[in-house]
Amino acid sequence: MLATLEAALHQAGQNFMATPWLFLSMPLIAAVIGYVTKIAAVRMMFQPLEFIGIKPYLGWQGVIPRKAVKMASISVDVITSKLITIEEIFSRLDPRQIAAEIEKPMLGAVEQITREVLSQHQPGLWEMLPNFVRERLIKRVQAEAPQVVAEVMKDLRSNISQVFDLKHMVINALLRDKTLLNRVFAEVGHKEFKFFGYSGLVFGFIIGLVQMVTWLFYQSPWILPAFGIFIGFASDWLALQMLFHPKRPVKILGLTYQGLFLRRQQEVSRDYARLVADQIITPGNIWQGILEGPGSDKLFALVQRHVERTVDEQAGIARPLVAFAIGSRQYQDMKKAVTQKLIETLPQTMKAVEGYAEGAMDVRNTLVQRMQKLSPEEFEGMLRPAFKEDEWSLILVGAVLGGIVGELQTYMLLH
């Protein structure tokens, strides 16, 4: 037995001395395998944005862009169920402050609307009116505009869930721009993705040392490809475990361990909140979602109710005479035309309120504070889906690449 061991050690020494550079290169090559397979896995999560190859199976599209609807839904579910609601956001807006912010652009829009509607529906009557009468009429309508805006905003704030769907808006924003969807996951986990790549170097090198020792004693064509497959597979799996486990801090031999991503909860919360507040839940996107979303017809009805009431009040006791003079149907059409044109001017007009709305809504600080208070299980859900979705295919690619490199190593050593 001892003689057999001595013979094996002697043969291993001879093997090493015959080609030392080949044996010493094994841990280095294994480290490269580990690193390259991790970088490939990370890139495969995000790139390419569109499918490249022959559909449906011969080719590839980044996991996140390919599962855009699901990934966007995961992101928005975290936001709307755990962090912030549209009712809360709008409750922070002061209707009268909004009216004051948009008063200047609104007055110009009201003047234009008044002139267009009256000249369209009663061109003869409008042209016959003296200039001072026209101006007085316009100023009277303008004087009522801020009050109408304040009342509409007050009503909107009370019924925002019927008029606006935050989830629909966020999902649409992320689906319109898959680059932005990638950024949500990439920026949240940028340090984890770097660790994922560098961990391949370390794990690969360690496994490569075992590979080298094994090859010294037992040289078989299947050894290196097998180790290559193992390196690609095991290093992926180990890296993922270190990112998300243990979920809560655990003390081992006096040292505290916790999943790397979970340990960064405070920092990640700030990065994520900045991205969401600056790129997704912005006043501009919210107004667009209100005006163009599935509840826009309810907004139109809301504005129409307030506008028609104001027009009727301005007509006062003369309203029956006005309706008689121009026709009841045309009078109603005029009120609808005013509403329609007012709605059309809102996207441009509401830009004046974005500065105030951003500060009042305070989306960024709200997200930061609440994300930092999420449980580890809830917080894990912000990045884990990016790895978990098609995780098997990413690990499989790592194993295949490792096996190919191992086969090349075998060719180099045995030929």
Q: What is the pLDDT of residues 128-139, one digit of tens each?
A: 556 665 566 666
The whole-angstrom separation of Cα 6 and Cα 10 is 6
Mean pLDDT of 142-157: 74
Alpha carbon distances (Å) from 204 to 29, 239, 243, 263? 8, 11, 17, 25
Number of Cβ within a 10 Å radius of residue 318: 11
- Looking at residue 408, what is its pLDDT? 73
Do 353 and 102 meet the contact criterion of CB atoms below 8 Å apart? yes
- Looking at residue 67, what is its pLDDT? 81
Do 302 and 152 meet the contact criterion of CB atoms below 8 Å apart? yes
Alpha carbon distances (Å) from 36 to 42, 43, 137? 10, 11, 74
**Whether residue 83 has pLDDT greater than 70:** yes
**Whether residue 371 has pLDDT greater than 80:** yes
Number of Cβ within a 10 Å radius of residue 407: 16
- The residue behind tokens 């007055």 is 107
- Looking at residue 406, what is its pLDDT? 74
Mean pLDDT of 260-274: 86
Name, in order, each residue with C-beta under 8 angstroms of 167's C-beta and a sequence gap of 6 or more: 73, 76, 77, 80
- Looking at residue 144, what is its pLDDT? 67
- Tell me the three state secondary structure of residue 67: coil
Greater confidence, 206 or 412?
Answer: 206
Mean pLDDT of 310-328: 51
Tokens representing residue 270 in the block: 């700030």
Band of residue 396 on the pLDDT scale cut at 50, 70, 90? confident
Alpha carbon distances (Å) from 409 to 203, 279, 412? 18, 48, 5
Number of Cβ within a 10 Å radius of residue 151: 19
Name, in order, each residue with C-beta under 8 angstroms of 113's C-beta and a sequence gap of 6 or more: 338, 341, 342, 345
β-pair type (52-54, 58-60) = antiparallel
Band of residue 120 on the pLDDT scale cut at 50, 70, 90? low
Greater confidence, 145 or 380?
Answer: 380
Q: Judge if pTM exceeds 0.75.
A: no
- Looking at residue 107, what is its pLDDT? 65
